[in-house]
Amino acid sequence: MRVRMRTVAALAGALALSLVSGCAKGGAGASSDTVTYWLWDSNQLPAYQACAKGFEKQNPGLQVKITQLGWDDYWTKLTAGFIAGTEPDVFTDHIQKFGQFADLKVLEPLDDLGIDPAAYQKGLADNWIGQDGHRYGAPKDWDTVALFYNEKAAKAAGLTAGQLNNLSWNSKDGGTFEKAVAHLTVDKNGKRGDEPGFDKNNVKVYGLASNGAGDGDGQTQWSNFAASAGWTYTDKKRWGTKYGYGSKAFQSVVKWYFGLAKKGYMAPFTAYNSQSSPGNAQVAAGKAAATFDGAWMISTYAGFKGMKIATALTPEGPTGKRATMMNGLADSITKNAAGKAGAKKWVRYLASDECQKTVGSYGIVFPATPDGTKAAVAAYKKKGIDVTAFTGPVADKKDFTTFSYPITNYAADVFALMHPAMQDIYGNGKSVSSLDKTNSQINLILDQ
């Protein structure tokens, strides 16, 4: 779930121009009896087509037209749609985009939908309240991050599921997590990463795949380590005004994490390509034994032919707790929706237990309501997939810390600065202290 978006200033200017020239006159479809709905995940399409049938049965005269686009095309066309007036009535929204869209006033307030935060997994509904106090998203689903690993590789290394589920780490010596990753690493001569004679420049199988530099959120890279060390992205849980990338605590985490690649235990920056060689592809090809990834990828790993993939909890950090980002998507209505009454009925239905249990029954994602989540867990179990590494952190608040994406203004600008900064550290060996300057630039923008 990566962010690829132009800066606020550029989009704001384009939107202003389109409004002046009269281009933005209604969303795609432009019909009050047809609700246009966009989503990006092809795996979820059948589930939402089923919800659409249920909705249309309850609302005679209203139809739902669903469009599914790939991740990159989705945000490019949505952004272009806001400019040209061809946006959908309703779309799947991502928390990283929310601050920008809310600031540009292209979203319709949803206060009248009667969303009860208590009806959803804790924190999901609250994330979609703007700085103006209005709601702009109805909770849709959620995900957490865990360690996916090749069972055969783990067995060959003598590592059990119990051991992998009880790893800990620290930034000084890496703890048992680094020891496990080192032992899972094998060079071209058959030497493991923790054995004498290991050749870090000629590795056959890396203990940990490369998931890229992580930009400013590090969702499936360094975020769980930073959070379990007690670090937070910003000075406030939501709508923070200062980022903490200049923190020495954060920089020590990043230095250690990318240092795994220098030691030869984690695949180098060049191994990663978001399209052709993400972490899951490296594991599938046998080039890496394990990788951190999100719950939205469960079915992908389960589908690897000739390979049994298991999952383990994120490692315990210096705070004595484990941590994982808990991201939650939402459904939002566009300001220029042709038929807002129908759009609101559709979003209300999407957020209902009825639709969420339907989605859960497909075993693709964890819906936002507890009953929807239960349906998903049951569906995964029926497929023979254990998902406790993802659901456990949500249920156990004693030993786990869950946290959200940073929710701030100017998210696209933060990405534009952190993307190259983190790539320079991982790929070019630049000092982590360079983040001091980047952090100052980011906070200067937020201070506008």
Mean pLDDT is lowest, of 4-13, 36-45, 92-101, 290-299, for 4-13
Establish if 376 belongs to a structural domain: yes
Rounded distance between C-alpha atoms, residue 14 and residue 11, angstroms: 5
Residues in the chain: 448
Phi-psi region of 61 (alpha: psi -120 to 50; beta: other; left: phi over 0): left
Q: What's the whole-number mean pLDDT along residues 312-327?
A: 97
The verdict on 247 and 102 lying in the same domain is no
Write down the residue that tokens 């139809």 correspond to: 63
The verdict on 308 and 337 lying in the same domain is no
The verdict on 110 and 166 lying in the same domain is no
The verdict on 115 and 244 lying in the same domain is no
Rounded distance between C-alpha atoms, residue 448 and residue 443, angstroms: 9
Q: How high is the pLDDT of residue 24?
A: 41
Q: Which of 30-34, 82-86, 210-214 has the highest average model confidence (pLDDT)?
A: 210-214
Write the pLDDT tens digit of every residue in 124-171.
999 999 999 999 999 999 999 999 999 999 999 999 999 999 999 999
Q: How high is the pLDDT of residue 306?
A: 94
Q: What percent of the chain has pLDDT over 70?
A: 93
Domain limits at 434?
145-325+410-446
The verdict on 223 and 296 lying in the same domain is yes
Q: What's the whole-number mean pLDDT along residues 242-260?
A: 98
User: What's this model's pTM, rounded to 2 decimal places?
Assistant: 0.92
The verdict on 428 and 285 lying in the same domain is yes
The verdict on 257 and 211 lying in the same domain is yes
Q: How high is the pLDDT of residue 340?
A: 95
Write the pLDDT tens digit of every residue in 72-96.
899 999 999 999 999 999 999 999 8
CB of 389 closer than 8 Å to CB of 407: no
Q: How high is the pLDDT of residue 104?
A: 86
Question: 369, 385, 401: which is the final residue of a domain?
Answer: 385
Please name every residue paired with 146 in a beta bridge, in sequence order, or none if there are none: 293
Q: How many angstroms from the chain centroid is the CA of residue 223?
A: 11
Write the pLDDT tens digit of every residue in 377-426.
999 999 999 999 999 999 888 899 999 999 998 988 999 999 999 999 99
The verdict on 347 and 428 lying in the same domain is no
Establish if 187 belongs to a structural domain: yes
Per-chain mean pLDDT for the chain: 93
CB of 231 closer than 8 Å to CB of 249: yes
Number of compact structural domains in the chain: 2
- 11 pLDDT band (50/70/90 cuts)? low
Establish if 191 belongs to a structural domain: yes
Establish if 405 belongs to a structural domain: no
Query: What are the phi and psi torsion angles at 291 (to 5°)?
Result: -165, 150
The verdict on 295 and 209 lying in the same domain is yes
Is the confidence at residue 10, as pLDDT, over 80?
Answer: no
Is the confidence at residue 30, as pLDDT, over 90?
Answer: no
Is the confidence at residue 21, as pLDDT, over 50?
Answer: no
Identify which of 102, 130, 145 has the alpha carbon closest to the alpha carbon of residue 394: 145
Is the confidence at residue 357, as pLDDT, over 80?
Answer: yes
The verdict on 358 and 257 lying in the same domain is no
Choose between 420 and 19: higher pLDDT. 420
Q: How high is the pLDDT of residue 95?
A: 92
Rounded distance between C-alpha atoms, residue 1 and residue 94, angstroms: 9
Specify the CATH number for the domain of residue 82.
3.40.190.10
Please name every residue paired with 354 in a beta bridge, in sequence order, or none if there are none: none
Q: What percent of the chain has pLDDT over 90?
A: 88
The verdict on 159 and 276 lying in the same domain is yes
Q: How high is the pLDDT of residue 316?
A: 98
Q: What's the whole-number mean pLDDT along residues 316-334?
A: 97
Establish if 397 belongs to a structural domain: no
The verdict on 19 and 127 lying in the same domain is yes
Question: 388: which 2 tokens?
Answer: 């406790």
Establish if 396 belongs to a structural domain: no
Query: What are the phi and psi torsion angles at 346 (to 5°)?
Result: -65, -45
**Measured CA angle at 167 (ends 166, 170), to 5 deg:** 145
Establish if 2 belongs to a structural domain: no
Q: How many angstroms from the chain centroid is the CA of residue 250?
A: 20
Sign of CA dihedral 168, 174, 180, 185: positive
Establish if 401 belongs to a structural domain: no
Rounded distance between C-alpha atoms, residue 261 and residue 268, angstroms: 6
- 280 pLDDT band (50/70/90 cuts)? very high
